[in-house]
Amino acid sequence: MYYCTMYSKELLKGTLQPIILSMLSETNKMYGYEIFTKVKERSDGKIILKDGSLYPVLQKMSKDGVLQFEEVHIGKRVRKYYFLTAKGSEVKRDYLQELKDFLETINELVYKSAVSV
């Protein structure tokens, strides 16, 4: 898994969990590498999740009761299929609402101001 980042790392901060929650609410079961691939494709290669970020956060979200997973053996390889818990669905709704509001606010503030007098 190799990559070059499109955006300054700081901009991505706080968006990782919402992104994962969003992906998992569309496709009810996904494993880490699948999420990585999906996000990469959907963003036209602009958002490349780092495995050093992705796998730890999936573990954290499981620990927080937001996700659950089941291990599936594919040949000799193991996949962990993650899915939203009931709590996860709630958290998803809240996080996505907050993110949406944030995007709109920043957009308004930075690009839509300075109305001529």
Partner DNA sequence: TATTAATACATCAATACATGATGTATTAAA
Partner DNA sequence: TTTAATACATCATGTATTGATGTATTAATA
Task: Look at residues 30, 22, 7 and name the one whose alpha carbon lies nearest to residue 88.
Answer: 22
Residue 97 as a binder of its own copies (CB under 8 A): the answer is: no
Q: Can you give the binding site for DNA, defined by CB under 7 A? A: 1-3, 5, 9-10, 12-17, 31-34, 37, 49-53, 55-59, 74-80
CB of 23 to its own copies, least distance (A): 8
CB of 44 to DNA, least distance (A): 16
User: For 2, left (φ over 0), alpha (ψ -120 to 50), or beta?
Assistant: beta
Give 15 or 85: the residue with its C-beta nearer to its own copies.
15
User: For 92, left (φ over 0), alpha (ψ -120 to 50), or beta?
Assistant: alpha
